[in-house]
Structure formats: structure tokens, C-alpha cells
Chains A and B, each alone.
Chain A
């Protein structure tokens, strides 16, 4: 079997095992798995609104997934996508409600500032990684908590809309990232996400620098020997990854919520990282896995209403997928350990 086919089969097997175990959990809570999966499917793809809803859920997972893919390619692990998303979301909302600008320019500026905010947020972990070799997994995870609390502080103490829930004022209409259909909040963010996925795939496949980064990801010693400055490239890769994470927040703020509030978009950064892992760090594969998670999420909303199973069953299935995928990665690393110096194999 060729390598890519094996990789895809491995992931499909991981998902199948997770779903089978999920079915056991559903049985244990006294529901019929067939019925639950049927409602789940109807909730995700039952009609046009449901499909749009699925794509709406897919958007942040996809963009966060691309952010994760970029770092995984270089053998680096940006688990701070969540924090970058919060920073980007707040920054975009701030541009949206704080400034009056002409329509198209306003949106573009909002998204650009969101990306900048994400980039700024990963700059410190990226610097310590490049300069001192500090483990970026730990530093990016930790920066998530700071981002969530910092944006919450900014929202509550500096920019709170008078009265009501802790949220900023709504953004100006000129900053709206427009909806695609009038029956859903689905917006052009999904198109941005798809374009990013294709662009990133093309970049890694067809440009010299993309090749250098891929080489560095699969074997840093070899890359260094070949004349690649892995510190510098790693620094740049993390910055770009963070910028995409920030962009994900900008899309949510300008396209969906049109304001920033406490509990803005919890968990999407992590969902994105999982989607990227499940796709073996492949940008086009991430489109498929993000859609899968988006469908699970959106389907679970109908599940909660129409069956006696809790929507949390989806969280269980997702967790099982993570377990199955990480088991696989570990097995491959072991088989691989004599072959090279890879930190992660992607």
C-alpha cells in the first residue's frame, strides 16, 4: 500500500473505532444508536438551513485547522490557536465598533488587524522557541488562558455595552462580513477558509520555501544539513500560523456575532487543531475533517432537542477520535524512531 492511502485508511479506522465506542456510550444511556446517528445526520444535512448551519460551524474549525496545519508542516505544534482566535476576534470587533470607515475597506482592515493580533499573540512563544528552543507546545497552551482572560477583561472593564450581558457594542454595518444566503448566518468566511486551504496546500507543494519547511518538518537535522536556517523558518512559520488563527477570530466577530462578548467562541481553536491532526496536517484533508466536525457540532444541536441523548455525546466521540489518532501517532513514531529525528510525523 502506498503511504498516503495507508495514512487515510488509518484515520478512517480511527474515526470508525471512535464512532463504534460512541455507539456503546449511547446504548449505555439508553438511546438507540441508529436513531441518534439518524437525527445527527438530519441535524447536519437535513435541509438547506441545516447544511448552511453545518458550514457555519465548519468555518472557524477549518480556519483554525489551517493555522494548525501550517505549524505542523514545520514539525511545530501551535496549540495556541484558541488564544489567537480570541485576540483576533476582539481586535476585529474593536475595529468594527470603534471606527467609522467605508464599507469594503472596513471589513478588510478588520480582518487584517485580526490577523495581526493573532500574529502578535504568538510572537512571544515563537521568539522563545526560535531563540532558546523553549517548547512551543507549553508556551502556546499557556498563552490561551491569558488571551481568554485578557479579552474578557477588555470587554467587561473597558468596552462594555451599557446594560445587559458583558459584550462590546455591536460593530458598524460597514464592517459586516456579508452573509451568503438570507436564511443563515453563513458568511464569506467559509470561502476565505477554502481559499486558504488551497493556497497553503499549493504553497507547500509548489514553492521552494514550502519545500524547505516540509523538509524541516520531516527531519530537522537533514534540513539543517541541507542549509535551511531552521530557527528562522520555524519563527516565521509560527507567526503565520498565529496570524491565520487571529483571522479565524476576525471572521467570527465580523461575520457571525458582529460584536465581541465573554465566551466568544470557546473550543474552536482546539477543534481546529484536532481537525488538522486527523488530516495528518494536510490542508486539503483538513477541509474534509473540519466539515466532519462541523457536521457533528451542528447535528448535535438537533440531537439535544429531538432525542434523550445529550449533545455532549459529540464531545465524547471527539475525545475518542483524539485518543485513537494519538495512539496511532505514537505507534508510528515508535516504528519510526530508528529512521530519523522527527518530533512529530506529518
Chain B
């Protein structure tokens, strides 16, 4: 009996302490605004926020904007009006205009714009070094093309491909890293890059990818959002290789996806929330998430990794270390 009472007393004491500390340090409260919580990168953001919620007990509110531009400004005003959120995460370029207006109208509200940098200097920007992850993707693809038919499903075209969505700076930045990685690792391998001109056309993505395979490319890097679904499908149809982007895409075409270049939205939001919880207030400015901080990474797919010679894997790992310690510099976006 005495054991039970002691346990009960301990529990009561612990919960009292928890109550006390919560009251003392004021719970961190976080909101996220987006119209894309259910898609690829958005899922990653939601996972990161939920993990932060589990680990730190923050208050979390997800605000779905829907797709009507008319609503955005009111949504920001409703979220910012009471100042109840320490940080408001914002994802989606269509919100950029309304966000900058809200940042001007509510100067005390801290907004975090995910995956991009805008004009306003009142906002926190969570930016990703996609060129670093792409560098590793280029290294891997280049080395595979150099080996050629020694690897299953590869031809001897000595070429690799790249399918971009629209031709915009951020996608160019992926391409720059990819080309640099391939060139440094396998100078003889050609990089064929094409842009679909849209992020919403899987059929076009598939068509372009098949054309690249025809031209001799044996590995195609998909950087095309939903258009890229076509890239993955084409790699399964042609039984060639592809590299996924943003999230782990190994399962989209098992046996054909070599790796995925992950943009870890979850790592970015988790890191920022963690700093906030630890009392280090996040301040406006650009925060870059790179290979070193785990914001981007190249994740190999287990099923295909078995086909890849160990020396290639070692070289990719060496390239990763070289990028992290700064021996390899990939330069700024052109």
C-alpha cells in the first residue's frame, strides 16, 4: 500500500511541477498557413510541426487557406490579430503577396516563409541549399553513367538527364548543383536538361523523360513537382533510373528510383520551433538549411542500392563530406 501511495504522491508532484513550469515559461504557440498541407513538401512540414508538438508540447494550429486568392489577406489578419502565435509558418508562393502585406500591417508578428526569399526584411526565411543536395545527385548519376552497362539497367550513352518544372531561379539552382556534381565526378558524362514549362503536367513529364532515355540518358533527375510524377512513371515504364526530389520517392517506382534528394521541410520547421522553445527567439533574416544541418540530403533507395558498386557509394559519401567541410563550393544561383 505504501508503495502505491508513494507512486501516487510522486505522480502528483510531477504533474504539479509540470503545471508550474508551463505557467512560468509560457507555452510556445505556433501556426502554419498553407493551401498544400496534404501534398509532398507540405506533408513534410506538417510532420516536422507534429514532431515538435510531441517533443515540446507546443500549441499548434494548422490553417488551411484553400485556393481562393481573395481569402488570403483575411486569413493572415485573422491569424495575426491577437498575437497569440509566436511564429506563423507560411508555405506557398501564391501567399507571398498577402504575406508581405500582413508582415507590414502586423510588425510584431513573426512570420516564417518556407522555401524562398521575398523582398520584405521583416520576415524569417527558411531557405534550402538545394544545389548541395543536387550536387550529390549529380555525383551519383554521373558516376553511374560512367560505369555504364556494368550496372544493371544502364546503357552506355554516357549521359544523364534532368527534367525541371518551370524555368525559374530555384529550379536553375538544382540544375547548377546537378551539373557541377556530375562534372566533378565524371567529366565525360553529358548532362541533358529540359524544362517542362509547368509543374502540373505529369503527361509532359513522362514524355520528356522518355525522350531523354531515347537520347542515351540512363538516369533522370526529377525536379518538377507534380509534373515529376510523370518522370517517375516513365522510369518504371522504360525500366531505367530516376532520382526523386523533395520527399522520399523510392516507393513510386520500386527498382527504378536510385535515390531521392530530400528537402527536409520537417527539419527546418522543427529546428526553428526548437530554438523558440529553448528561448532563443528566431529573428527576421534568411536561415539556410544545408547538407551540414540536415536540411537537404541524398537518400539512396535500398532496393536499387544493391546494384550500385561500393566505390560509387564511397565517392558520393566523400563528395558529401567535401561539400560540408567547404572543399567543394557550388557558388550562387545564376
Q: Which A-chain residue is minimally distant from B68 (CB atoms)?
A: A266
**B residues 90-145 touching A (CB-CB < 8 Å):** 93-94, 96-97, 118
Q: Indicate whether A29 reaches chain B with its CB closer than 8 angstroms.
A: no
Q: Which A-chain residue is minimally distant from B81 (CB atoms)?
A: A305
One of A163, A256, A267, A306 near B169 (C-beta < 8 A): A163
Q: Indicate whether A151 reaches chain B with its CB closer than 8 angstroms.
A: no
Taking CB atoms, residues of chain A closer than 8 Å to B166 are 156, 166
Range, interface on chain B: 20 to 34
Most A C-beta atoms less than 10 A away, residue of B67, B69, B75, B96? B69
**B residues 6-37 touching A (CB-CB < 8 Å):** 31
Q: Which B-chain residue is minimally distant from A308 (CB atoms)?
A: B61
Taking CB atoms, residues of chain A closer than 8 Å to B73 are 185
One of B61, B70, B78 near A252 (C-beta < 8 A): B70
Range, interface on chain A: 20 to 34
Complex Cα gap A264–B96 (Å): 14
Most B C-beta atoms less than 10 A away, residue of A165, A265, A297? A165
Judge whether B68 and A305 touch: CB under 8 Å: no
Judge whether B93 and A164 touch: CB under 8 Å: yes
**B residues 41-100 touching A (CB-CB < 8 Å):** 61, 63-64, 66-71, 73-75, 77-79, 93-94, 96-97
Judge whether A165 and B67 touch: CB under 8 Å: no
Taking CB atoms, residues of chain B closer than 8 Å to A262 are 94
Within the complex, the shortest CB–CB distance from B39 to chain A, in Å, comes to 15
Taking CB atoms, residues of chain B closer than 8 Å to A261 are 69, 94
Complex Cα gap A163–B168 (Å): 7
- Given A156-B198, A263-B94, A310-B64, does the pair A305, B78 have CB atoms closer than 8 Å? yes
- Given A265-B68, A298-B74, A305-B61, does the pair A164, B79 have CB atoms closer than 8 Å? no
Judge whether A305 and B63 touch: CB under 8 Å: yes
Complex Cα gap A304–B96 (Å): 20
One of B67, B74, B118, B198 near A301 (C-beta < 8 A): B74
- Given A53-B74, A305-B78, A311-B64, does the pair A164, B69 have CB atoms closer than 8 Å? no
Residue interface mask A48-61, B partner, CB < 8 A = 1: 01000100110010
Complex Cα gap A164–B169 (Å): 9
One of A157, A164, A185 near B96 (C-beta < 8 A): A164
Taking CB atoms, residues of chain B closer than 8 Å to A252 are 70
Complex Cα gap A185–B31 (Å): 25
Judge whether B68 and A165 touch: CB under 8 Å: no
- Given A164-B96, A310-B64, does the pair A57, B70 have CB atoms closer than 8 Å? yes
Complex Cα gap A165–B96 (Å): 8
- Given A301-B75, A301-B78, A305-B63, does the pair A263, B69 have CB atoms closer than 8 Å? yes
Q: Which B-chain residue is minimally distant from A43 (CB atoms)?
A: B78
Complex Cα gap A256–B79 (Å): 21
Q: Indicate whether A228 reaches chain B with its CB closer than 8 angstroms.
A: no
Complex Cα gap A310–B61 (Å): 11
Q: Indicate whether A343 reaches chain B with its CB closer than 8 angstroms.
A: no
Taking CB atoms, residues of chain A closer than 8 Å to B77 are 49
- Given A298-B74, A305-B63, does the pair A267, B94 have CB atoms closer than 8 Å? no
Taking CB atoms, residues of chain B closer than 8 Å to A345 are none
Complex Cα gap A311–B66 (Å): 9
Taking CB atoms, residues of chain A closer than 8 Å to B71 are 297, 301
One of B31, B67, B93, B118 near A266 (C-beta < 8 A): B67
Q: Indicate whether A17 reaches chain B with its CB closer than 8 angstroms.
A: no
Judge whether A304 and B75 touch: CB under 8 Å: yes
Complex Cα gap A268–B61 (Å): 28
Taking CB atoms, residues of chain A closer than 8 Å to B68 are 263, 265-268
Within the complex, the shortest CB–CB distance from B99 to chain A, in Å, comes to 11
Most A C-beta atoms less than 10 A away, residue of B70, B97, B198? B70
Complex Cα gap A308–B118 (Å): 31
Q: Indicate whether A333 reaches chain B with its CB closer than 8 angstroms.
A: no
Q: Indicate whether A196 reaches chain B with its CB closer than 8 angstroms.
A: no
Q: Indicate whether A257 reaches chain B with its CB closer than 8 angstroms.
A: yes
Complex Cα gap A265–B94 (Å): 13
One of A163, A266, A304 near B63 (C-beta < 8 A): A304
Complex Cα gap A43–B67 (Å): 19
Taking CB atoms, residues of chain A closer than 8 Å to B64 are 304, 310-312
**A residues 245-295 touching B (CB-CB < 8 Å):** 252, 256-257, 261-268
Complex Cα gap A267–B73 (Å): 18
Judge whether A165 and B78 touch: CB under 8 Å: no
Taking CB atoms, residues of chain B closer than 8 Å to A310 are 64
Taking CB atoms, residues of chain B closer than 8 Å to A263 are 67-69, 94
Taking CB atoms, residues of chain A closer than 8 Å to B61 are 305
Complex Cα gap A265–B169 (Å): 27
Judge whether A302 and B78 touch: CB under 8 Å: yes
Given A57-B70, A60-B70, A306-B78, 15 further pairs, Cβ under 8 A: A53-B74, A156-B166, A164-B118, A185-B73, A257-B69, A262-B94, A263-B68, A263-B94, A265-B68, A265-B69, A297-B71, A298-B74, A304-B63, A304-B78, A310-B64
The 5 A-B residue pairs with the shortest CB-CB distance in the complex, in nearest-first order: A165-B93, A305-B78, A301-B74, A302-B78, A263-B67
19 inter-chain pairs at a CB distance below 8 angstroms, sorted by A residue, are A156-B166, A163-B168, A164-B93, A165-B97, A257-B69, A257-B70, A263-B67, A265-B70, A268-B68, A297-B71, A298-B74, A301-B74, A301-B78, A302-B78, A304-B64, A305-B31, A305-B61, A305-B79, A311-B66
